[in-house]
Amino acid sequence: MIDIRLVRTNPELVKENIRKKFQDEKLVLVDEVLDLDKQYREARTRCDELRSQRNSISKQIGVLFGQGKRDEANAAKAQVSSINEELESLEKSEVDLEAEIKKRMMVIPQIIDDSVPIGKDDSENVEIERFGDPVVPDYEIPYHVDIMERLAGIDLDSARNTSGNGFYYLRGDIARLHSSILSYARDFMINRGFTYYIPPFMIRGNVVSGVMSFTEMENMMYKIEGEDLYLIGTSEHSMIGKFINTILDKDQLPQTLTSYSPCFRKEVGAHGIEERGVYRIHQFEKQEMVVVCEPEDSMKWYDILWQNTVDFFRSLDIPVRTLECCSGDLADLKVKSCDVEAWSPRQKKYFEVGSCSNLGDAQARRLGIRIRDKEKGNYFAHTLNNTCVAPPRMLIAFLENNLQEDGRIRIPEPLRPYMGGQEYIG
């Protein structure tokens, strides 16, 4: 949510930003906010005037009665009563107008960074850099589920019976590999100075609306029936929510956190759920990074975060690239975002395994996360998040890039301590 003062002082900038995101249907919201805000401020001004009048007249009533001027005192009382009626109406109008303004402000997108490429959708995202040499071996790389099934590591049929499409059973060495990758990611981030958390896996509605847009919430979140609780789609949700309505001292920043959680997603939309595979599913696990920092430091932390993911994948010998998200592909709360994509030797192309986002003050403004400054006054923090690793999607890249000609899976050296010293699976 942007600062309403920006809408007041520079509505054309806000409209131009909407055009850059190809959301012209939202242009009308800016004018509606300006009109509603004008009414709101006029109502507030009138309320202040009426309260001042009421206080002045109320003080006279006792004096008038004391002077025996009963008729004048009763007339003053009637005037106060009339003022109260008008105040009650105006105060209700204030509340209604404020709600209407907020409803529109929650939909107006965050101002994107000047460096973001302009494009309509993810087909216009821009490759930034490649890390590692993408290799296609001279032997066949099977579909990832076929690799897992050959190693007796996955059971989709049983999961379909218990839970439906979009779920899976992992077993044996593949299940151990899955857990080992998460444990390695946890220690990888701890060694980079991040504090490890296991957060709540359910959050309240006010936190959900604070960390994401309504459209994202509808397409992603599972609601607990009969309760004000949602299953998290990523631990970023509860980790940012941890700071709701807090004022942080400067010496408490930056907050650099890494968190493990299961993630639950409806995956409503064009992509849908895979009938057979673990790329797009309803349930998975993830090691996340979250930063809360000073506004002037957020771009520095943005670069640190995506580099962490690149370094993690490269430590496991998986070639990756970074892809700058264009304006039309940015969620409304994001200032800037890039995807980390891993190489698939089977498909001979890269696919997304993580996403790094700078949200500016959007989440902080919605959730009331401020920084204390005695001289300038309190101001909103900036928040960022990034995926370190999210198996089982990462397993696809891992299995394809470490598959040997004889069908075994090579375990890169950093992962071997977590796999009981194993050098190969199979």
pLDDT at 220: 86
Q: Per DSSP, which regions of 89-217 are E strands?
A: 126-131, 154-155, 169-170, 195-197, 202-203
- Same domain? 128 vs 87: no
Q: Which of 55, 80, 105 is the last residue of a domain?
A: 105
Structure tokens at 353: 């395994």
pLDDT of 241: 96
User: Are 386 and 288 within 8 A, CB to CB?
Assistant: yes
pLDDT at 64: 77
CA-nearest of 288, 264, 265 to 356 is 288
For residue 389, give the nearest of 300, 324, 314, 292 by alpha carbon: 314
Determine, yes or no, domain membership for 113: no
Q: Phi and psi at residue 109, in whole multiples of 5°?
A: -70, 155
Same domain, 46 and 163: no
Q: Which pLDDT does position 76 carry in this prediction?
A: 82
Give the span between the Cα atoms of 93 and 89, in whole angstroms. 6
Q: Which of 105, 140, 160 is the last residue of a domain?
A: 105
- Confidence (pLDDT) at 356: 97
For residues 161 and 247, membership in a common domain is answered with yes
Torsion angles phi and psi, residue 376, rounded to 5: -90, -15
Domain membership flag for residue 115: no
Same domain, 137 and 20: no
Q: Pull the structure tokens for residue 212.
A: 């994401």
- Could you tell me if 399 and 170 are in contact, meaning their C-beta atoms sit under 8 angstroms apart? no
Residue 75: give the domain boundaries: 4-105
pLDDT at 272: 57
110 part of a folded domain? no
Largest separation between any pair of C-alpha atoms in the chain: 109
The answer to whether residue 111 is domain-embedded is no
Asked if 47 contacts 90 with a C-beta cutoff of 8 angstroms, the reply is yes
Residues 188 and 245 in one domain: yes
Mean pLDDT per 10-residue segment, the chain (426 residues): 94 97 97 96 92 86 79 84 90 94 95 97 96 95 94 94 92 96 98 97 94 81 94 95 96 97 81 71 94 97 98 97 97 96 96 96 96 92 97 92 96 97 95
Identify whether residues 212 and 280 lie together within a single domain: yes
Instruction: Identify whether 63 is part of a domain.
Output: yes
306 in Cβ contact with 289 (< 8 Å):
no
Domain at 88, CATH number: 1.10.287.40
387 inside domain: yes
Could you give the number of structural domains in the chain? 2
> What SS3 string covers 46-60?
HHHHHHHHHHHHHHH
Cβ atoms of residues 317 and 310 within 8 Å: no
- One domain, residues 101 and 132: no
Same domain, yes or no: 213 and 302: yes
| Residues 205 and 347 both lie in one domain | yes
Of 105, 137, 152, the residue that ends a domain is: 105
> Which pLDDT score, from 0 to 100, does residue 61 have?
80
Q: Is residue 329 part of a domain?
A: yes
Same domain, 176 and 324: yes
CATH number, domain containing residue 282:
3.30.930.10
Residues 221 and 365 in one domain: yes
112 within domain boundaries: no
Q: Please check whether residues 169 and 77 belong to one and the same domain.
A: no
Report the candidate in 250, 263, 164 with the shortest Cα–Cα distance to residue 222. 263
